[in-house]
A and B are shown apart, each in its own frame.
Chain A
Amino acid sequence: MAGVAVSTTINGDSVEYLCQPDETLLDVLRDRLGLTGVKEGCGTGDCGACSIILDDRLVCSCLVLGAEAEGRRVETVEGMAHGDSLHPLQQKFLEHAALQCGICTPGFLIAAKDLLAKNPDPTEEEIRFGLAGNLCRCTGYDKIVRAVQDAANVMKGA
């Protein structure tokens, strides 16, 4: 199959790649571009480990084709920190131990970032429903919710 040439923006950098027409954006990010912070837990849109922000929309990158990124903006966990200073969500996830194994963490961070961008002052219930598309099997979500609450407070103050 002939490859599709794509130019897109990933974490602020312009990127060009060739991909197969049936290749998912998740596979492109992980296998072609080395952005393995984006995780695959299911490949069917059920776990949220592959969450990215595509033009201000939270999506499962396993449900998007690589070719669809043409001309758009992609944001992954790799783009959250600035230099050596972590994003408040990253910092709060560490402080609250909101990760055990950490495989779900990149997806949660991206989903939480999207949530707070749209709702800077969410209630606990809004956080719980806002993050309901992301599965975590280790933490029982308690510390994740607290980390997001704490990060929201910090970000409001900033």
Chain B
Amino acid sequence: MNFDPRYSTRNFASVGTRPIRPDGVDKVTGRARYGADFNMAGQLVGRVLRSPHAHATIRKIDTSKAEKLPGVKAVITAADLPDLTDGDAAMYDILDNCMARTKALYDGHAVAAVAAVDVRTARQALKLIEVDYELLPHVTDVDEAMKHSAPLINDAIFTEGLEEKPVKPSNVTKRSQFGHGDVHQGFGHADFIVERSFKTEQTHQGYIEPHACVASVSSDGTADLWVCTQGHFVYRQHCAQLLGMEASKLRVTSSEIGGGFGGKTHVWAEPVALALSRKAGRPVKLVMTRDEVFRASGPTSATSIDVKIGARKDGTITAAEATLRYSCGPYPGSWAEIGAMTAFACYRLENVKTVGYEVLVNRPKTAAYRAPSAPMAAFAVESAVDELAKEIGMDPVDFRIKNAAQEGTRSSYGPVYGPIGIGPTLEAVKNHPHMKAPLGKNQGRGMACGFWFNFGGQTCTDLNIGMDGSVSLAVGTVDVGGSRASLSLVAAEELGIAYEQVKAIVADTSSLGYNDMTDGSRGTFSSSMATISAARNAIKILRERAAQMWDIAVDDVVWEQGHAVAKGEKHGNLGKLSLKEIAAASGTTGGPIAGHSELVADGAGVSFATHICDIEVDPETGATRVLRYTVVQDAGKAVHPTYVEGQYQGGAAQGIGWALNEEYIYGKDGRLQNPGFLDYRIPVCSDLPMIDTQILEIPNPNHPYGVRGVGETSIVPPLAAIANAVSNAAGVRMAHIPMSPPRILAAIEAERAG
């Protein structure tokens, strides 16, 4: 396939408009089917028994009483999910996380599961399962876990990435390092140096829809799985591998998804549901409770970060350094590594060094959460940048503009940037009316920048043209926030037809080739690229058919605005053939017309954002109020601007919750104290103001329309923007997220006490 993904300027007809999404009516009428809205005849209810202990050896599980309870059709433990991972350590961890094998590693770790005729019976059965635990010492804090005296979570793990191979096991699974130049020398040239340590607490993606699936395994070895997921193809692969099935025999259909934000990229309940169904010989529906969602599914890392930045009097940064420690839960991850890559990505630095440490703790396995790892690093760096600007006596925006990365800058994590948006977002912020609005007593304004890589990846798309000229677009990237609308716009654009003529669906795993997960802001970026490629392939056939209908050479036929046009004087009398006319004749000109595309979408353009935020702090209580919030972000090209705005606003709101309120609170016993929306409080409508957005469009050179991913960057700046605002309002530097009232009050009181 010779598809050229390079950007070229064009005047858009459909792209950039704001039509109503194709799945909209079903979603406002209650007809759309999410994970828990699907049922099969004869379906059983699955429930999972979870460890109440943070760390314990499982000596024995006795399921005999549960099995005898009338109405119970299957009880499983790790023994029913034998290890088929064949030395694949990452898959083994997924298996162990789905069902603890020898040790329970966190409060909420699955140890057994049942399938029963109804929920009441299933719950009763769980109570009859006897687990003999031997308690082990546990550790939940990231800094504590790094100490030599900390209880070891996995004694087979030795820190990777050290110069000398360690002789003792450790909770630190990996050290990674990025940067260039010589920071030591750089700090020598600095007139001002800011050095500070920061902490952020663990948060949850907080999707409103709990994980849910229906699994049906037949005795002939084929199976169906209906599930809310960000990547049904990946789920198929993982489930098939863990259950010892051929991937093609497992058909996975992705339901409508009620939020994911990275949290629905890993299998948890699905292999369990399949194992239950296999054992019971009936379909099994497994829906997590909210308590299980918090205790057992994907929180983000808790972190501890040290930052040191030095600059000359004129505001030039001479050196920047950070050490980042990220919790991974009880299994190795690469979260600190990503944090270390993103930390200084906004800046043009001669001397920069970042070091990341991945740390095991007795908490749930860390999962991706919207620009995973970047918000915490940005919080630490952007707080220090603000402080440094203040010390130098420069305006924080000007200081950042002076040091902002540009096209040609070697990024702190290695690659050299193409055209990027950090400078333009800063300029836009500098000129934004929000920056000049007056502030009252106890009010402060803060701003901060953020970066995210954006992913591309494997993508497969089918575009079929019906005999009536309507177009079915089948994509394999799950629609997490309106991408069916965006992709229909792209298909309409490329074919030169009306948006209404295109109907986009998300195909199941048996109907389309493999697609990577919808993560890394890749959904619209990569599937639009594949859609353009598929449409161009279809156009090629449309031209051939038109040539055939006219009986002229195909080279004389061009495609213009939804029509085949015969070029050249000799064809002057031929007029045009519409897509509809060509489609209507397809039965006699060679059969159905379709365009397919299989590609690896490379070159997802990096994305930058700068946010402004006004906060009021009550100095008596430490309570905060968000007064005004503005997001400026580069979209490359906004395919459906309303949904781009929605991504900006949603990311900002999640960041506000993280900055001010959300955190996992563990007791001394290692149990999660707040596994519910009452005590883990996400922002509600009355907590927030309108969230103003400004979309910049700096085309991504590696996409035909210039599109960049837009979904994640918006959660990167808020932690720091709000911390800077609080610091300006209350006169204290907040180094611990979330900035809950008690923490702010303590900081104010410490400041008063001098």
Nearest residue (CB) in B for A34 is: B39
Binds B, one of A2-10, A35-43, A65-73: A35-43
Known pairs A41-B208, A101-B258; A143 contacts B649 (CB<8 A): yes
Q: Is there a chain B Cβ closer than 8 Å to A123's Cβ?
A: no
B residues in contact (CB < 8 Å) with A: 18, 20-21, 23-25, 27-34, 36-37, 120, 205-210, 256-261, 287, 289-290, 480-482, 642-643, 645-647, 649-650, 652-654, 676-678, 682-688, 690-691
Q: Report the 5 A-B pairs with minimum CB-CB distance, sorted nearest first.
A: A37-B30, A103-B258, A140-B653, A102-B27, A140-B649
Residues of B within 8 A of A77 (CB): 28-30
Q: Are A142 and B691 in contact (CB under 8 A)?
A: yes
A101–B286 CA distance with the chains assembled, in angstroms: 21
Q: Are B686 and A135 in contact (CB under 8 A)?
A: no
Known pairs A44-B678, A94-B20; A99 contacts B208 (CB<8 A): no
Q: Can you pick out 21 interface pairs between chain A and chain B where the beta carbons lie within 8 Å of each other? A: A41-B677, A44-B678, A47-B677, A49-B208, A81-B29, A86-B29, A94-B21, A95-B20, A97-B21, A97-B643, A104-B208, A109-B28, A128-B685, A132-B687, A140-B652, A140-B683, A140-B691, A141-B683, A143-B642, A143-B645, A144-B685
Q: Is there a chain B Cβ closer than 8 Å to A137's Cβ?
A: yes
| Selected contact of B646 from candidates A86, A95, A131, A143, CB within 8 Å | A143
Residues of B within 8 A of A104 (CB): 208, 258
- Between B31, B206, B685, the greatest number of chain A beta carbons within 10 A of the residue's beta carbon is seen for B685
Residues of B within 8 A of A134 (CB): 684-685
Known pairs A41-B209, A103-B209, A140-B691; A97 contacts B646 (CB<8 A): yes
Shortest beta-carbon distance from A133 to chain B in Å? 8
Known pairs A40-B36, A46-B676; A35 contacts B30 (CB<8 A): yes
Q: Is there a chain B Cβ closer than 8 Å to A153's Cβ?
A: no
Q: Are A142 and B28 in contact (CB under 8 A)?
A: no
Q: Are A100 and B685 in contact (CB under 8 A)?
A: no
Q: Are A145 and B685 in contact (CB under 8 A)?
A: yes
Known pairs A80-B29, A128-B686, A144-B685; A99 contacts B261 (CB<8 A): no
Known pairs A102-B258, A138-B481; A42 contacts B28 (CB<8 A): no
Q: Is there a chain B Cβ closer than 8 Å to A74's Cβ?
A: no
Residues of B within 8 A of A55 (CB): none
Q: Is there a chain B Cβ closer than 8 Å to A139's Cβ?
A: yes
| Interface of chain A: mostly helix, strand, loop or mixed | loop
Q: Are A101 and B28 in contact (CB under 8 A)?
A: no
| Interface of chain B: mostly helix, strand, loop or mixed | loop
Residues of B within 8 A of A140 (CB): 646, 649-650, 652-653, 683, 688, 691
Q: Are A135 and B650 in contact (CB under 8 A)?
A: no
Known: A77-B30, A131-B686, A144-B685. 6 other contacts (CB 8 A): A44-B677, A78-B29, A86-B25, A97-B645, A101-B208, A125-B686
Q: Are B677 and A135 in contact (CB under 8 A)?
A: yes
Inter-chain residue pair count (beta carbon < 8 A):
178
Interface magnitude class on chain A: 35 or more
Nearest residue (CB) in A for B32 is: A102
Nearest residue (CB) in A for B259 is: A101
A139–B685 CA distance with the chains assembled, in angstroms: 10
- Between B27, B31, B206, B690, the greatest number of chain A beta carbons within 10 A of the residue's beta carbon is seen for B27
Q: Are B678 and A39 in contact (CB under 8 A)?
A: no
Could you give, for residues 21-50 of chain A, a 1 whenever the CB lies within 8 Å of some chain B CB and a 0 otherwise?
A: 000000000100001111111111011010
Nearest residue (CB) in B for A96 is: B642
Q: Are A137 and B33 in contact (CB under 8 A)?
A: no
Q: Are B208 and A103 in contact (CB under 8 A)?
A: yes
A105–B29 CA distance with the chains assembled, in angstroms: 9
Q: Are A135 and B208 in contact (CB under 8 A)?
A: yes
Residues of B within 8 A of A61 (CB): none
Shortest beta-carbon distance from A13 to chain B in Å? 15
A56–B215 CA distance with the chains assembled, in angstroms: 39
Q: Are B20 and A47 in contact (CB under 8 A)?
A: no
| Selected contact of B33 from candidates A35, A36, A41, A90, CB within 8 Å | A36
Q: Is there a chain B Cβ closer than 8 Å to A119's Cβ?
A: no
Residues of B within 8 A of A143 (CB): 642, 645-646, 649
A35–B39 CA distance with the chains assembled, in angstroms: 12
Could you give, for residues 99-122 of chain A, a 1 whenever the CB lies within 8 Å of some chain B CB and a 0 otherwise?
A: 111111110010000000000000
- Between A81, A102, A103, A144, the greatest number of chain B beta carbons within 10 A of the residue's beta carbon is seen for A102
A44–B688 CA distance with the chains assembled, in angstroms: 23
A142–B650 CA distance with the chains assembled, in angstroms: 9
- Between B206, B687, B690, the greatest number of chain A beta carbons within 10 A of the residue's beta carbon is seen for B690
Q: Are A139 and B209 in contact (CB under 8 A)?
A: no
Q: Are A137 and B678 in contact (CB under 8 A)?
A: no
Q: Are B30 and A106 in contact (CB under 8 A)?
A: yes
Shortest beta-carbon distance from B477 to chain A in Å? 15
Known pairs A77-B29, A102-B258; A46 contacts B649 (CB<8 A): no
Q: Are B676 and A44 in contact (CB under 8 A)?
A: yes
Q: Are A99 and B289 in contact (CB under 8 A)?
A: no
Residues of A within 8 A of B32 (CB): 102
Shortest beta-carbon distance from B735 to chain A in Å? 26
- Between A101, A103, A109, the greatest number of chain B beta carbons within 10 A of the residue's beta carbon is seen for A101
A141–B685 CA distance with the chains assembled, in angstroms: 6
Q: Are B290 and A135 in contact (CB under 8 A)?
A: no
Q: Are B208 and A94 in contact (CB under 8 A)?
A: no
- Between B32, B36, B120, B258, the greatest number of chain A beta carbons within 10 A of the residue's beta carbon is seen for B258
Q: Are A94 and B24 in contact (CB under 8 A)?
A: yes
Q: Are A39 and B650 in contact (CB under 8 A)?
A: no
Q: Are B28 and A93 in contact (CB under 8 A)?
A: yes
Known pairs A46-B676, A100-B481, A103-B258; A37 contacts B29 (CB<8 A): yes
Q: Are B676 and A42 in contact (CB under 8 A)?
A: yes
Known pairs A39-B258, A145-B685; A138 contacts B650 (CB<8 A): yes
Q: Is there a chain B Cβ closer than 8 Å to A152's Cβ?
A: no
A93–B650 CA distance with the chains assembled, in angstroms: 16
Nearest residue (CB) in B for A107 is: B208
Q: Are B290 and A41 in contact (CB under 8 A)?
A: yes
Nearest residue (CB) in A for B480 is: A101
Q: Is there a chain B Cβ closer than 8 Å to A14's Cβ?
A: no
Q: Are B646 and A137 in contact (CB under 8 A)?
A: no
Residues of A within 8 A of B649 (CB): 139-140, 142-143
Q: Are B677 and A137 in contact (CB under 8 A)?
A: no
A47–B258 CA distance with the chains assembled, in angstroms: 13
